[in-house]
Amino acid sequence: MIKILIVDDEIGICRSLEVLLVKEGHEVVSCNTAACALTAAAEKDYNVAFVDLKLPDMDGLDLIKHIKALHASTQIIVITGFAAIETAVTAIKNGAYDYLTKPLSLDKVRITLRRALEKITMAAEINYLRAELNQSFGFENIIGNSKKITDVFQIIKQTAGSDSNVLITGESGTGKELVARAVHYKSHRKNERFVAVNCSAISSELTESEFFGYVKGAFTGAVKDKTGFLEHAGGGSLFLDEIGDTRPDFQVKLLRAIQQGEFNRVGSPRAERVNVRFIAATNRDLTKAMSEGTFREDLFYRLNVISIHLPPLRERREDIPLLSRHFLQKYSPKRKGATITGFTQDAVLALMSYDFPGNIRELENAIEYAISFASGSEITINDLPLKIQSNKPKRSALTIDKPLKTAVDNYEKLIITSALKQCSGNISQTARLLSIHRQSLQQKIKDFSINLNNLKDS
- pLDDT tens for each residue of 15-64: 999 999 999 889 999 999 999 999 999 888 899 999 998 899 998 899 99
Asked whether residue 343 carries a pLDDT value surpassing 70, the answer given is yes
Compute the residue count for the chain: 458
User: Is this model's pTM higher than 0.85 or not?
Assistant: no
303 or 373: which leads in pLDDT: 303
Asked whether residue 83 carries a pLDDT value surpassing 70, the answer given is no
What average pLDDT does the segment 236-262 reach?
95
Over 284-342, what HEC string results?
Answer: CCHHHHHHHCCCCHHHHHHHCCEEEECCCHHHCHHHHHHHHHHHHHHHHHHCCCCCCCE
CATH (one of 3.40.50.300, 3.30.10.20, 2.30.30.140, 3.40.50.2300) for 3-131: 3.40.50.2300
Asked whether residue 136 carries a pLDDT value surpassing 60, the answer given is no
What average pLDDT does the segment 325-339 reach?
83
- Which of 121-125, 183-187, 242-246 is predicted most confidently? 242-246
CA distances (Å), origin 431, targets 11, 163, 369, 371, 422:
59, 37, 24, 20, 12
Asked whether the beta carbons of 42 and 5 are under 8 A apart, the reply is: no
Residue among 12, 39, 10, 44 at smallest CA distance from 27: 44
Asked whether residue 432 carries a pLDDT value surpassing 80, the answer given is no
Q: What percent of the chain has pLDDT over 70?
A: 90
Handedness of CA 32, 34, 35, 36 (dihedral sign): positive
Q: What's the confidence (pLDDT) of residue 396? A: 44
The fold adopted by the segment(s) 137-311 is Rossmann fold (3.40.50)
Locate the domains of the chain by residue range: 3-131, 137-311, 314-454
Asked whether the beta carbons of 165 and 307 are under 8 A apart, the reply is: no
Q: Please provide residue 72's backbone torsions phi and psi, each rounded to the nearest 5 degrees.
A: -60, -25
**What does the pLDDT look like over 389-427, one tens digit per residue?**
987 554 444 445 556 667 677 777 878 887 787 777 888
Question: How does the average pLDDT of the chain come out, rounded?
Answer: 87
The fold adopted by the segment(s) 314-454 is Helicase, Ruva Protein; domain 3 (1.10.8)
431 or 407: which leads in pLDDT: 431
Rounded to the nearest 10°, the torsion over CA 376, 382, 388, 394 is 100
**What does the pLDDT look like over 265-311, one tens digit per residue?**
999 888 889 899 999 999 999 999 999 999 999 999 999 999 999 99
Q: What's the confidence (pLDDT) of residue 398? A: 47
User: What is the spatial distance between Cα 424 and Cα 429, in angstroms, rounded to a whole number?
Assistant: 9
Residue among 271, 295, 277 at smallest CA distance from 213: 271
With cut-offs at 50, 70 and 90, classify the pLDDT of residue 437. confident
Residue among 16, 32, 20 at smallest CA distance from 113: 20
384 or 395: which leads in pLDDT: 384
Whether the domain at 3-131 and the domain at 137-311 fall into the same CATH topology: yes
397 or 167: which leads in pLDDT: 167
424 or 240: which leads in pLDDT: 240
What average pLDDT does the segment 346-367 reach?
93
